Structure 1
Amino acid sequence: MGKYTHSSNPSNHWNLELISNDLIRECKASTESSHLSKGLRDRLESLPRHTRKEVVKKTRDGCSSLFIACRQGNVEITEYLITVCDADSEQKGLYEVSEDRSVHCVTPLWCACVSGKLPVVKCLVRLGSNINALSDTGSTPLRSACFMTHIDIVQYLVENGADIRKPNYNGGTCLINSVQSVQLCSYLISKGADVNSRDIQDKTALHYAIQEHRFETAQLLLENGADPFARSRYGDDALQTACLKGAHQIFDFLKSRINYSSERLADANELIGSTFIDDHNETRVAILHWRLAHRIRQREAIYIKKRPEVQPRAAYGHAVEFSTTAELEEIAVDVDAMRIQSLLIYERILGIEHKDTLFRLMFRGASYADSLRFQRCIDLWLLALQVRVQKYSILYSDTCLTAQAIVRLMLDLQDKFVEVMPNEFVNHSLPRFEDIYEVYRILTSNINEARRLLNIRPAHRKQQENYDRILKCLTHLIYLLLSMAKTDEECDLVKQCVRHLVHCNLRSAITNDTLLHLSVSRLNVIKSGYFTDESSLKVIFPNVNVVKLLLKCGAYVNAKNESKSTPLLIASLPYNYSRKLVHTLLEHGAHLDQPNRNDERPMSLIAVNPMNDIPLVNYMTLKCLCATVITKFGIPYRNQVPRTLEDFVRWHEP
């Protein structure tokens, strides 16, 4: 038996690990022209072939020696590992794409293609690597080489049978991935690429070329049969996409090439003008496009009306679109009025549910908040929240982000006197009760349906997280409603809302927390990407007033979450502890001795807290003490005590 032959001897196993480590180290240090050391080759070749294969299969940081050699572009080592060591050319490794820092699980051939190592690509293909092997996102080596614009590799793969039409899991094709290169797109089209192939967003290569302002590529695609009227999932064709992305050169080219109706041209100029003011702050360019649109509408014998008609909204200050030259000139000297016109135009042409309309509602609201016009911000964000809940539900990420933003803003504004109108200071406390209630009403309108959807398997983690964030928003809204309710009618409304919510028996999707669990935890905070300063994050919980209201409305004081912790146990943790809070829970019947899965009990946590002065013995019953002893010492009790007590004893089991 040879020195390095595999056996059950631990020293032999250690030797194999040493060889593997040395091999990976030399592959990492290799260049395109370097060689494995003679000593390492001798050690490898002294092993039986099947043992060599096991050695080269080992990985470090998710990558085998073959994968590393391919990434480094070393043909000699690549060929040696496959032919001499039987390395598996389909063994996947982890590859980080430098352009977007994304990490993918891919084959060595995919890695070599993206790395631009043509000699290694040729070697792998010659030795039988699967030329159409998929990455973790369903992307072929060819498609990924297109993204990196490695034209020489693309040509080699196509000439050797790579599938030019194979999309990834999102429907993205080689042509879509190549819009940044006219030469590459031209080559793919000449080899039969479908210029009108769509991805899961119903976008074609033309959509992506316009999005990236690739004028020459867009021109090439159109000249080769790309459909300028193909609409994406959001209803955007080529002209509308050019307007939304401010692709002015492509916009002009489309108008010169295609015979659009006067109404369509007017809409397009209004839309691209809105984009220029919103995205580039180009007020002069926006007005030029709006004037042109107005002239187009006046050109016909009968003025071309703006369709569909949009009813005035309170969120826009009941503003309406301009319909005369005088109105346009008046708007032209008022930037705020121009921005409201932009929102009106977006809603009319795209619809209120379009992603770009909603994005601009949120962006404009944030701009108002930056200029201390907080009520205008709330009005716009409320509108965006209502639309997103109706269209997507609270499980949708953008809905959750909108809810977090508006609740966080309301928390920051609480009890402050703010400037609610330009040059006019009014002693109005924000947020207004009616706005808080409206957010609460919107978020709870379909919450039971959302909870039922989460029960569908397989569960989607992101949706679960969004649902749990919404529950946190609701606890903060209850706090705000309590704080801002001034009249008896408002106080009664708050109780009615909370009572209904408690009866829904809502629990978080991941940790199974009730609203009561959330209301006693300092970890219950609202974060939002619209607020960059997290140091000013307002911590509301634990909150005694919210806890009292929940208990008064019927919340079960001894409910257990996923870890079998009761609200009292959560409240007993040192960072949550509040004498008033713990006392409130005890007065409402919370059990001191109910353990969680780790056998932690509120009694022991409270007893060692130096701040505690609650006489705990007053809240311990003989029945609880007996149940604790039975469970602690494993005394059989089933069918030994009355059935009514069996559940009680079981509650005391860890």
Structure 2
Amino acid sequence: MIACYKGHFKIANYLLLLKADINKKSVKGNTALHDCAESGSLDIFKMLIQNGAKMEVDSYGMTPLLAACVTGHADIVDYLVKSNNLVSRTEKIEALELLGATYIDKKRDLIGGFDLWKQAMDLRFNIDDEQDIPKPDNALPIEAYEWAQEVKNHEELNELLSEPDEMRMQVCLMFHHHILPIKALLVRERILGPTHPDTSYYVRYRGAVYADAGKFTRCISLWNHALDIQRGSLESCHQMTVSSFFSFAELFSFMSDACATNDDNGYRQVPALLTFEDVIQVLVKAINELCEPKELPYAIDLSPRLLLISLDLFNMALKLIRNDEHSHLTHRLLYRLNKCNILGHLGQTALHLASARKTALAVSRHPQTGSSDDSTLLLRALLKIGANPNARDDEGNTPLHLVAAKDSLIIQLLLGSGAHYDAVNAAGRTFCDMRKATPHNPLYHTSLACHAARVIRKNRIPFVGHIPVTLYEFVEKH
């Protein structure tokens, strides 16, 4: 019911008088109660409960109570927690814990979050004539969370604070500003599970906070964990997963930037922060995402976008190679990508994209300090692992057609690797025709066979059935 989500009490009441089905689920599996919980309409929420609304679960396994916790609507949570028969004791405990995590992560209210966790702990252990409900003890510690564990009892919870008075509490909580958010992530992942978008979102958010503080190692660790969660629960090349890969590429680009602006509007060198290991662990996941599609691919094909991001990561990895092991691993991944024949926009191969210098990242604000060899590392690596210099995209262009006129080094590398100087695209144009110039002597790059093929095409001489079948494609390229 849209009226419930918008908080229109009179409209919702009118619909109830018309006997509207308040327990009907939407496409996403949510009911009117879910909409109320997300919008924070307590009056409508109570009215729906009084008219027989049920505490159903949506497609993520979320009840209206948990939905209120995620959005931070404490009044709805308080109403349900204080009720006698609307939710179970276990549901009340998890609700208070999740709401506490929301206070810490979303509202940045450390004291409020701690207080909610204390209420939850009281419900676990301080209920007369009822059995204690300890926290599950089967969760394996996670490296991204610095192997931290959730607090299991009052003693562990109180260890975060040394004195009960308000001023000391504030000081202690600020001292533990790093510990509490990590424990909030643990609570959220346990209660919501890995498939809920908020689980990975808040892991990524916490990583971004660390990045802003210059703690890049912590950020990379958390973002890798979020990426693993997304890859394990979402379709192949899902929008959220591709967005995570792009965030990594942007972070790595920032970390590897060789220059920074000083007060005199000049540039000074800064220490290199990025390592080969940082890039390669993300690159391996990107290639797996591209080359090992799941049974149900994402409705929108974002593999061209991820291909561009992966090539940016390859560019960074190639510049960070320090030994033969690094080189072997990088080239093996690149060979796998080339073998899978993942195509970008207009059916362009990785070599097309590298030749045209296409990138998913914005152009750097700082001047390039690397050598010309650095700028062609990816192209050289692709040619080394056997990428086809005569591959054609949907418009019949070879990589040579897409090279900028000023990139003479790239033209030389392609021609030196067997690219056909006189290959024509679907419009019948060679790469020289597209530039209205002949930057290289054609005598050095065309063979007698090329001349023969051009004569056949120019004079429209029938060749099918008169030459070997293996030469058909060769003739059609000219």
The two structures share one fold, judged by TM-score above 0.5: yes
Question: In 1, distance between residues paired with 2:464 and 2:149?
Answer: 74
With over 3 angstroms needed to count, the CA separation of the structure-2 counterparts of 1:563 and 1:543, relative to structure 1, is: farther
From 366, 369, 372, the equivalent of 2:211 is 369
**Residue 312 (structure 1) shift:** 1.6
Contact 1:417 1:428 in 2 (8 A): no
With over 3 angstroms needed to count, the CA separation of the structure-2 counterparts of 1:543 and 1:625, relative to structure 1, is: farther
Q: 1:599 is matched with which residue?
A: 428
Pairs within 5 Å for 1:172-571:
173=1, 179-228=6-55, 230-259=56-85, 260-300=87-127, 304-307=133-136, 309-323=138-152, 324-329=156-161, 332=173, 333-414=175-256, 429-450=272-293, 460=299, 463-464=300-301, 466-508=302-344, 510-526=345-361, 536=365, 543-571=375-403
Contact 1:393 1:446 in 2 (8 A): no
**Residue 520 (structure 1) shift:** 1.4
With over 3 angstroms needed to count, the CA separation of the structure-2 counterparts of 1:432 and 1:304, relative to structure 1, is: farther
Contact 1:568 1:582 in 2 (8 A): yes
Local SS of the residue matching 2:184: helix
Question: In 2, distance between residues paired with 1:496 and 1:174?
Answer: 53
Question: In 1, distance between residues paired with 2:71 and 2:296?
Answer: 35
Deviation per residue, 1:270-303 (Å, 9 max, x gap): 1111111211111221121122222223315875
Question: In 1, distance between residues paired with 2:447 and 2:322?
Answer: 41
Question: In 1, distance between residues paired with 2:200 and 2:430?
Answer: 48
**Residue 257 (structure 1) shift:** 2.3
Contact 2:93 2:124 in 1 (8 A): yes
Deviation per residue, 1:31-81 (Å, 9 max, x gap): xxxxxxxxxxxxxxxxxxxxxxxxxxxxxxxxxxxxxxxxxxxxxxxxxxx
1:580 maps onto 2:409 in alignment: yes
Q: 1:158 is matched with which residue?
A: none
**Residue 394 (structure 1) shift:** 3.4
With over 3 angstroms needed to count, the CA separation of the structure-2 counterparts of 1:452 and 1:183, relative to structure 1, is: closer
Deviation per residue, 1:412-449 (Å, 9 max, x gap): 2126699xxxxxxxx98433322322212212224344
Local SS of the residue matching 1:252: helix
**Residue 607 (structure 1) shift:** 6.4
Local SS of the residue matching 1:280: coil
Equivalent position amino acid for 1:651 in 2: K
With over 3 angstroms needed to count, the CA separation of the structure-2 counterparts of 1:517 and 1:183, relative to structure 1, is: same
Contact 2:60 2:195 in 1 (8 A): no
Local SS of the residue matching 1:445: helix
With over 3 angstroms needed to count, the CA separation of the structure-2 counterparts of 1:488 and 1:311, relative to structure 1, is: same
Equivalent position amino acid for 1:369 in 2: A
Contact 2:305 2:360 in 1 (8 A): no
1:608 maps onto 2:437 in alignment: yes
Q: Give ranges in structure 1 of 5+ residues lacking alignment.
A: 1-172, 419-426, 528-533
Equivalent position amino acid for 1:559 in 2: A
Question: In 1, distance between residues paired with 2:30 and 2:137?
Answer: 25
Question: In 1, distance between residues paired with 2:29 and 2:366?
Answer: 41
Contact 1:276 1:285 in 2 (8 A): yes
**Residue 625 (structure 1) shift:** 2.1
**Residue 174 (structure 1) shift:** 5.8
Largest Rg, 1 or 2 = 1
**Residue 225 (structure 1) shift:** 0.7
Question: In 2, distance between residues paired with 1:615 and 1:562?
Answer: 28
Q: 1:631 is matched with which residue?
A: 457
Contact 2:3 2:9 in 1 (8 A): no
**Number of aligned pairs?**
450
With over 3 angstroms needed to count, the CA separation of the structure-2 counterparts of 1:627 and 1:218, relative to structure 1, is: same
Contact 1:382 1:406 in 2 (8 A): no
**Residue 453 (structure 1) shift:** 6.2
Q: Give ranges in structure 2 of 5+ residues lacking alignment.
A: 163-171, 261-269
Question: In 2, distance between residues paired with 1:239 and 1:637?
Answer: 74
With over 3 angstroms needed to count, the CA separation of the structure-2 counterparts of 1:226 and 1:261, relative to structure 1, is: closer
Contact 1:472 1:525 in 2 (8 A): yes
Question: In 2, distance between residues paired with 1:442 and 1:497?
Answer: 10
Where relative contact order (Cα < 8 A, 6+ residues apart) is larger, the structure is 2
Question: In 1, distance between residues paired with 2:364 and 2:333?
Answer: 32
**Residue 639 (structure 1) shift:** 3.1
TM-score normalised by L of structure 2: 0.86
**Residue 231 (structure 1) shift:** 0.7
**Residue 593 (structure 1) shift:** 1.2
Deviation per residue, 1:105-137 (Å, 9 max, x gap): xxxxxxxxxxxxxxxxxxxxxxxxxxxxxxxxx
With over 3 angstroms needed to count, the CA separation of the structure-2 counterparts of 1:593 and 1:381, relative to structure 1, is: same
Equivalent position amino acid for 2:225 in 1: L
With over 3 angstroms needed to count, the CA separation of the structure-2 counterparts of 1:320 and 1:516, relative to structure 1, is: same
Equivalent position amino acid for 1:436 in 2: V
**Residue 543 (structure 1) shift:** 4.1
Q: Which moves more between the two structures, 208-217 or 284-293?
A: 284-293
Question: In 2, distance between residues paired with 1:220 and 1:213?
Answer: 13
Question: In 2, distance between residues paired with 1:329 and 1:263?
Answer: 26
Pairs within 5 Å for 1:37-48:
none
Pairs within 5 Å for 1:2-13:
none
Contact 1:511 1:561 in 2 (8 A): yes
With over 3 angstroms needed to count, the CA separation of the structure-2 counterparts of 1:351 and 1:551, relative to structure 1, is: same
Calculate percent identity across the aligned residue pairs. 28
Question: In 1, distance between residues paired with 2:366 and 2:181?
Answer: 30
Local SS of the residue matching 1:239: helix
Contact 2:9 2:44 in 1 (8 A): yes
Question: In 2, distance between residues paired with 1:244 and 1:453?
Answer: 29
**Residue 632 (structure 1) shift:** 2.8
Local SS of the residue matching 2:158: helix
